[in-house]
Homo-oligomer: A and B are copies of this chain.
Amino acid sequence: MLSKISFEMQDKPLIFVTNDDGITAPGLRALTDVVRPLGKVVVIAPDKPQSGTSHAVTMRQPLRLNRIRQEPGFEEYSCNGTPVDCVKLAYKVVLGRHPDLLVSGINHGSNSSINIIYSGTMAAVFEGAMAGVPSIGFSLVRVEMNADFSAASTYARRIIRTVISRKLPDGVCLNVNIPPLPVSEIKGIRICRQAGGTWLEDFDIRKDPKGRDYFWLKGVFARIGDGEDTDEYALEHHYVSIVPVNFDFTDYPAIEELKRWDFSS
């Protein structure tokens, strides 16, 4: 089934698209429509919702690919794995090389603040950046499946064009969040840092038909801190937020602090 990608390369960039809401999500359709005029496009997306799977990679079971569409300049596959699995399969099985651009989303729901840590959409973006591929994740701050993606698409187009024409710094990828507003009410783009935040969570404790407890996670997000330079602040004030992120998790100031500690006892 899977020959390496058959496109002639010519001058058009090879653009890879994935998400974590799955192959049927309207946000994926919207993002695919944005990039198709810009290059040759391959989509590999999970065959079911994979929100909250973060950077999980499938190692204990085999992966499957199902080719859904093949047209000039466009191929689309579903995969039984995670978003990160989709990226790895793109590199090694479907494309046979790294794409020129990786875009992920448009996510149904915010990936601002600490939500980036749980996000499969943004994990795919990190996986792109780790291979040196210019990579951008897009999220609309609205979880509904029938949300209006028109403003998000407008801004995704602008940002993708800019990234194609300029070079992202080494190891840096972008976390873009779009407020749930018509394009006329969005004030522009803000470059931001990741806001502090937390999930105020609890578990529903329920009983199954045999009387045994089971637990279901529920919660609401709460911002921590009030910096005007954060993604949360930008979104609340009707701006699109772009947070440049990287995958070096080292806390450099803490290195000096810990070097003074005595670990010998």
Contacts and interface: CB of A to CB of B under 8 A. Distances in A.
A248 B194 contact: yes
A189 B263 contact: yes
Contact of A250 (B53, B57, B194, B215): B194
16 contacts: A2-B205, A52-B58, A55-B117, A56-B56, A62-B214, A62-B215, A88-B201, A88-B203, A91-B201, A92-B201, A117-B247, A161-B265, A162-B265, A169-B257, A193-B248, A193-B250
Main secondary structure of the interface of A (DSSP, over half): mixed
A74 interface: no
A92 B215 CA distance: 10
B63 A216 contact: yes
Contact of A263 (B62, B162, B198, B263): B162
A144 interface: no
Interface residues of A, number: 80
A180 to B, nearest CB: 20
Interface string A72-103: 00000000000001001101110000000000
Contacts of A118: 55-57
Contacts of A213: 1-2, 64-65
A35 interface: no
A201 to B, nearest CB: 6
B215 A65 contact: yes
Interface in A183-242: 189, 191-194, 198, 201-203, 205-206, 212-217, 242
A54 B213 CA distance: 26
A252 B51 CA distance: 27
Interface of A: 1-2, 49, 51-60, 62-65, 85, 88-89, 91-93, 114, 116-118, 123, 126, 130-131, 158-159, 161-162, 166, 168-169, 171-172, 175, 189, 191-194, 198, 201-203, 205-206, 212-217, 242-255, 257-259, 261-265
A78 B243 CA distance: 38
Contact of A215 (B89, B206, B243): B89
A52 to B, nearest CB: 5
B258 A191 contact: yes
Of listed A55, A161, A189, residue having the most chain B CB within 10 A: A55
A10 B56 CA distance: 39
B205 A93 contact: yes
